[in-house]
Structure 1
Amino acid sequence: MQNSLPPEFDRGVVTTVHQGDCQVSDVKDLTYSTVLGSCISACVRDRIANVGGMNHFLLAEQSGSSRDRYGASARYGAFAMEQLINKVLSRGSGKKANLEIKVFGGGKINSALDDVGAKNIEFVRDFLLAEGYSVASEDLGGNFARRVLFKPASGRAFVKRLDSEAGANVAREEIVLAKRRAVVVPASDDIELF
């Protein structure tokens, strides 16, 4: 099997970041790895402290709540972003200005998840803008799944676009997860989920 990574991208110890995970480290020979379809993965690094992390989240359909533009399920995405940023800040320099943010995913890989990827892209961009962050780099959208490798200490990232068979497997897994995580919102708007 031929290695498709550039020779200078030594994987070292690989830790998989699954849907719903948030991992942070400063270990130099560590690489985080995840596979994304319509999900989003953010990679955040403190450039001064050389501490970084990766999350992986899937935002299901909107809940329909009139008070929440994204719906209750998007709060899972907001929680995932806040959790990652706060972990990197607490283990790093503590200064938002030192953070470098890269975002990946949001592909349209299955008609059953037709608009999930686009909503995820809109969500992550809006969230970062509202929090005052800029994106250092991104690989978002498209009609393919992708594998993302991220070295938290150096901030290097590598993205490989996956073939349609791998994308179909990712799509099936995401559909199962989306159904399992569906949030039922009561008819009354006086309850706020968080």
Structure 2
Amino acid sequence: MVMSSSLPPEFDRGVVTTVHQGDCLVSNEVDLTFSTVLGSCVSACVRDRVANVGGMNHFLLAEQSASAADRYGASARYGAFAMEQLINKVLTRGTGRKANLEIKVFGGGKINGALDDIGLKNIEFVREFLANEGYEMAKEDLGGSYARRVMFKPYSGRAFIKRLDNTANASIAREELAVAASRRSVITKPVVDDIELF
């Protein structure tokens, strides 16, 4: 993992593909770089060390639910889905052996005072998920009060992290507020029962 202000030569060539919130991309192309910008969101970078196949996801969890049975609420199921989807895609395209996986996790910054600390909940979630599934993180860059640009080479497994300035933090914070507001505004329709009991 490289943390710097200028791109190393390895990241300054080839094709760059942006990983947006909700995406999960996997590849074994030598000159491909996955790139994303994270505020409170988390990205996992998973790679099969033997097959040189890797991928990146990008997810944001919403507020924690009060239910102990569903500790992180409905969106945690999305987070779990995002993690399972990435791991399964890498296993399918790779050797199929969990022991060959290398996992790096990034993000979870606290960049928005208007929201609860979603970043911390994301960090707790991803650590708990990986521990429960029997995985260890090879590298992490989590928390803090800044946004990050993460670049990941799926073939080599190299990652590059750049901490972003306050201007980027403000822009990402606005986007996250909009996502949180849109999730709160979704009204669940009541289930209409078409079955008549006699």
The question of a shared fold, defined as TM-score above 0.5 by the shorter chain, is answered with yes
Contact 1:65 1:72 in 2 (8 A): no
Aligned to 1:118: 120
Deviates more, 1:79-88 or 1:110-119: 110-119
Residue 19 to residue 139, structure 1, CA distance change in 2 (3 Å): same
Aligned partners of 1:63 and 1:73 also within 8 Å = no
Contact 2:49 / 2:102 at 8 angstroms: preserved in 1?
yes
Q: 1:139 aligns with which of 128, 138, 141?
A: 141
- The structure with the larger Rg is 2
Residue 45 of structure 1 aligns with an amino acid whose one-letter code is R
Q: Does 1:151 align with 2:178?
A: no
Alignment partner of 1:16 is 2:18: yes
Provide runs of 4+ in structure 1 moved above 6 Å: 183-186
* 60-69 vs 22-31, greater mean Cα deviation: 60-69
CA distance in 2, matches of 1:51, 1:181: 34
Root mean square deviation, CA, Å: 1.8
C-alpha offsets along residues 74-131 of structure 1, whole Å, 9 cap, x if unaligned? 1110000000000000000000000000000000001022310000000000000000
Structure 1 window deviating more from structure 2 (70-79 vs 99-108): it is 70-79
Name the % identity. 77
**Helix, strand or coil at the partner of 1:104:** strand
Aligned pairs for 1:37-116 within 5 A: 37-116=39-118
- For the 8 Å contact 1:42–1:81, the answer to whether it is kept is yes
Any idea what the Cα deviations from partners look like across 1:133-153, whole Å, max 9, x if unmatched? 000000000000000000001
Contact 1:49 1:93 in 2 (8 A): yes
- Are 1:38 and 1:113, in contact at CA under 8 Å, matched by a contact in 2? no
